[in-house]
Amino acid sequence: MIELKNVRFKYDEDGEDILKGINLKINTGEFISILGKNGSGKSTIAKLLNAQIYPESGQVLIDGQDSKDLDVWELRRKVGMVFQNPDNQIVATVVEEDVAFGPENLGIENPELRQRVDKALETVGMEKFKLHAPHMLSGGQKQRVAIAGVLAMDPDLIVFDEPTSMLDPTGRKEVIDHALKLNKEDKKTVINITHFMNEAVLSDRVIVINEGQVVLSGNPKEVFSQVDKIKEYGLDVPQVSDLAFMLKNKGIDLPDGILTIEELVDSL
C-alpha cells in the first residue's frame, strides 16, 4: 500500500538530513507502531505520508503512485492523519460541524455527507455529543472527535502521530482501543507513532527509527527481545520485558520476547 524508497529529507537547506535513505513498506491491513527518540525522524515520516512535505530525494509511493504526482486532496482521501494535539485539528464550534469539515472540502454533499458524519461519530462512540462544543470535552473525547473527522474522509490508511502523548491513562486507552477497532473490525491500515511501549506491543509490526534510519523491524516479540539494542537507541521496553531480561541475566531460564505478565508467570 505504502512504500518509501531511499527517502531523504531535511528541513533546512544547509542542515543535516533528518531522514537518511529510509526504505520502508507498509502492507494493506497492518497495524504498525513506529518508535524512536525525539528527533529521530518519526513525525517527518508521518508528514511525508500525508503530503504535508515531500522528500528531497527518493520516492513516497501510495498504491504505486508517487506522492508528488498525486493531487493533495486525492492523496488525503487515502491517507488520513490524527495529530498529537486534538486542539490543533478541531476547527469548528460544534462537534458534528467539525467532523463534516474534511469531507466538505472533498466536495461530498448531502445526504452522503450526513451519513458519513453520523457513521464516523458512531464508530468512535461520540454520537451523543454531536451537538456539543468541542472545547467542553475531555482530552480523550476531543481526540475521538479528531479521529471521527479523519474517518469521515474515508481514508484507507490512518496515521496516528503520537495521539496519546497529551492524555491521561484513561484517555490513552480510549484512543488506542479505537485505533485497534478501526484496524481489526473496519480493516483500516493503521500507523501509530508512539513513545508508549504498551501500545507498541499491540501492533502487528514494530519499526524503530534512529537518527533518520530504520534500525529494527519485526513483530513485537522479535523487537522487544533485543533489550540492549533498544536501550542503546534511547528507548525503553515494556516493564515485563525488562524484568524478564534482568531475570535471564541472573541465570533464570526464560524464553525471549516476553511481553505480558501472563507470559512471564507461565514461563516462571
* DSSP states along 149-191: HHHTT--SEEEEESTTTTS-HHHHHHHHHHHHHHHHTS--EEE
- The answer as to whether 192 is a domain residue is yes
- Residue among 152, 145, 149 at smallest CA distance from 174: 145
- Is 267 within a domain? no
| Structure confidence at residue 207 (pLDDT) | 95
pLDDT reported for residue 98: 94
Domain housing 197:
2-237
Half-sphere exposure in the Cβ direction for 184 (13 Å, CA)? 9
1-60 pLDDT tens trace: 899 999 999 988 888 889 999 999 999 999 999 999 888 888 899 899 988 899 999 999
| pTM, to two decimals | 0.86
Residue 244, in any domain of the structure: no
Structural domains in the chain (count): 1
Examine residue 6 and state whether it is found in any structural domain, yes or no: yes
Residue 258 lies in a domain: no
| Interval 115-170: pLDDT, tens | 999 989 988 889 999 999 998 998 888 988 988 998 898 888 999 888 777 777 88
Return the closest-CA partner of residue 74 out of 107, 99, 96, 43: 107
Q: Which three cell numbers stand for residue 11?
A: 528541513
**167-192 pLDDT per residue, tens:** 778 878 888 888 898 899 888 999 99
Q: Compute the distance between CA of residue 268 and CA of residue 263 in angstroms, rounded to an integer.
A: 9
Q: Is 111 helix (H, G, I), strand (E, B) or coil?
A: coil
Total residues belonging to the chain? 268
At residue 163, the pLDDT reads 78
Q: CATH no. for residue 202?
A: 3.40.50.300
Average pLDDT over residues 198-209: 92
